[in-house]
Amino acid sequence: MASVSMEYGLILAGILFTLGLAGVLVRRNLLFMLLSIEIMLNAAGLAFVVAGARWAQPDGQVIFLFILTLAAAEVSVGLALILQFYRHVKTLDADAADEMRG
């Protein structure tokens, strides 16, 4: 089986993670921030799968399954929070909710 070398896989995972992080930091819309977090999670999952393939261990794919369920739970909680947030402040701008300013 022709395999992609691990470095490429990890670099891709790194790029995806960076994109996701940049999305969280730059985007102000909560929905897009949630999407960016999903990308970051998937980047992490990709890194596990690549590492599992490299050492021919099933653990990497097992961890990915965990990340998948985690992501599902996170999205459901996140969406519920966003819904409440929208009702409360009538916007999806994350910076509008700075009531806890120190």
Partner 1 sequence: MLSLLWLIPALPFAGFTILALAGFRLSRRGVALIGVGSVGLSAFLTLVLGGSFLLSPPAGQAFTQTLWSWIDVAGFRPEIAFRLDALSLIMILVVTFVGFLIHLYSADFMIDEEGYSRFFAYMNLFVGAMLTLVLADNLLLLYLGWEGVGLCSYLLIGFWYREPENGRAARKAFIVTRVGDAAMAVGLFLLFAQLGTLQIQELMQRAPAQWAVDSGAAIAAAALLLGGAVGKSAQLPLQTWLPDAMAGPSPVSALIHAATMVTAGVYLIARTNVLFSLAPSVMSAVAIVGALTLLLAGFSALTQRDIKRVLAYSTISQIGYMFLALGVGAWSAAIFHFMTHAFFKALLFLGAGTIIIRLHHEHDMFKMGGLRREMPTTFWTFLIGSASLAAIPLLTAGFYSKDQILWSAWSSSAGSPWLWAAGLVGALLTSLYTFRMVFLTFYGEREPLVQELSPVPRLGVRVRLPLVVLAVLSVVGGLVDLPRTLGNLPLLSDFLHSVLPAANMAAEGVGTELLFQVIAGAVSLGGVYLAYLLILRRRQVVEGWTASPLGSALHRLWFAGWGFDWLYDTLFVRPYVWIARTNRRDVVDLFYEGLARLAEVLHGLLSRTQTGRVRWYAAGIALGAVVVIALAVLL
Task: Say how far apart CA 95 and CA 26 lie, in whole Å.
Answer: 11
73: alpha, beta or left, given left = phi > 0 and alpha = psi -120 to 50?
Answer: alpha
When asked if residue 79 is in the footprint of partner 1 (CB under 8 A), the reply is no
Q: Which residue in 5, 11, 28, 29 binds partner 1 (CB under 8 A)?
A: 28
77 binds partner 1 (CB under 8 A): no
Residue pair 96/86 in contact by the 8 Å Cβ criterion: no
Size of the site for partner 1 (CB under 8 A): 13
- Asked if 94 is part of the footprint of partner 1 (rule: CB under 8 A), the reply reads yes
Question: Does the footprint of partner 1 cover residue 21 (CB under 8 A)?
Answer: yes
Q: Which of 1, 2, 55, 99 binds partner 1 (CB under 8 A)?
A: 99
Looking at residue 87, what DSSP letter applies? H
Q: Round to whole Å and give the CA distance between 50 and 90.
A: 42
Per CB under 8 A, 19 contacts partner 1: no
One-letter amino acid at 22 equals A
In the list 25, 63, 69, 79, the residue contacting partner 1 (rule: CB under 8 A) is: 25
**CA pair distance 90, 57, nearest whole angstrom:** 48
Q: Which residues bind partner 1 (CB under 8 A)?
A: 21, 24-25, 28, 33, 94-95, 97-102
